[in-house]
Amino acid sequence: MARVGFCGLGVMGAPMARHLAAAGHDVTVYNRTSSRALEWVAANGGRAVPTPAEVAAASDVVFLCVGNDDDVRQVILGDGGVLDGAHEGLVVVDHTTTSAELAVDMATSCEVHGVVFVDAPVSGGQSGAENGVLTVMCGAANEESLAVVRPLVGAYSRSFVRLGGPGAGQLAKMVNQICIAGLVQALSEGIAFASNAGLDPHAVIDVISKGAAQSWQMDNRARTMIDGEFDFGFAVEWMVKDLTYAVAEARSNGSRIPVTEQVLGYYRELMERGRGRADTSSLVTRLPR
């Protein structure tokens, strides 16, 4: 049994922390909205504390899954943050999707305190977190620093791979989101085309999903896109955040990602229409059919 902490009990963090508790670990939790932390403890055991510093003091590994760069900075560096309660040898694993620059900065700040920082964004969405089958891509100073982390993350993931030093995990997550953005737009266009051509889009998807067009998005979202159902885990506003990081990084490293930039514009349009909390597959609603 390990002493672990979890900061951030949203739609991703809560089930991830639950898997850690179910695996028999001693879990201490913090959430900005304290009532959510108390509800989590009532359902899963462990204990809730009022600050990230107290999570750090009670843990050997602290996991984060919060909103964005600013949230990570506040939880780690702010008053009552993780570093205020940190002890030498503590490992901080950040599952938030952030900029790569933020990950590098956090690794540097943590190192000064004798703390190891691992950027470890995930892919698989809410269903992946609930079913314990997330894909985790991480950046860390060396493989040895992950020895204590790997078996813990195994409680809610099916893949955990180090791709380089600090920031490498976030860069890999940007690649993940770039690939997804183009796929969802293409799937949206295909569904709209099928409908406008007088075909049964469900029948078309059934056929082409058995061929080269098959993808996770087609298997898991095409039918609900056709039926206008968009109440799933990964919201438009989160994709806007993620793709904004990717576009900024592309401009910095000289990459050209015109399709991603265009799709980011489409998602921003959905946000302007009040669809920020809808699933990313709601991209199809932009197209006449």
Q: Look at residue 47 in the predicted model and tell me its pLDDT.
A: 98
**For range 106-130, the mean pLDDT:** 96
Distances (CA, A) of 167 to 7, 119, 120, 140: 20, 6, 9, 8
Rg from Cα positions in the chain:
20
pLDDT digits (tens, 9 = 90+) for 186-200: 999 999 999 999 999
What does the chain come to in residues? 289
Report the predicted TM-score, pTM, of the whole model to 2 decimal places: 0.95
Give the C-alpha separation, 44 to 127, whole Å: 19
Distances (CA, A) of 5 to 41, 62, 88, 89, 166: 12, 4, 16, 14, 21
**Annotated catalytic residue 241:** no
pLDDT digits (tens, 9 = 90+) for 94-113: 999 999 999 999 999 999 99
Ordered structural domains, the chain, with CATH:
3-165 (3.40.50.720), 171-286 (1.10.1040.10)
Q: Look at residue 101 in the predicted model and tell me its pLDDT.
A: 98
Q: Look at residue 160 in the predicted model and tell me its pLDDT.
A: 97
| pLDDT above 80: residue 233 | no
| pLDDT above 80: residue 154 | yes
Residue with tokens 């760069």: 69
**For range 216-240, the mean pLDDT:** 94
Q: Look at residue 1 in the predicted model and tell me its pLDDT.
A: 86
Average pLDDT, the chain: 97
User: And the tokens for 17?
Assistant: 């922390």
Q: Look at residue 229 in the predicted model and tell me its pLDDT.
A: 97
| pLDDT above 90: residue 79 | yes
Give the C-alpha separation, 222 to 192, whole Å: 11
User: Annotated catalytic residue: which of 18, 19, 25, 173?
Assistant: 173
Q: Give percent above pLDDT 70 in the chain.
A: 100
Q: Look at residue 232 in the predicted model and tell me its pLDDT.
A: 81
Per-residue burial over 265-284, b = 16 or more CB atoms within 10 Å of its CB, e = otherwise: ebbbebbeeebbebbbbbbb
Q: Using 50, 70 and 90 to split pLDDT, how confident is the model at 256? A: very high
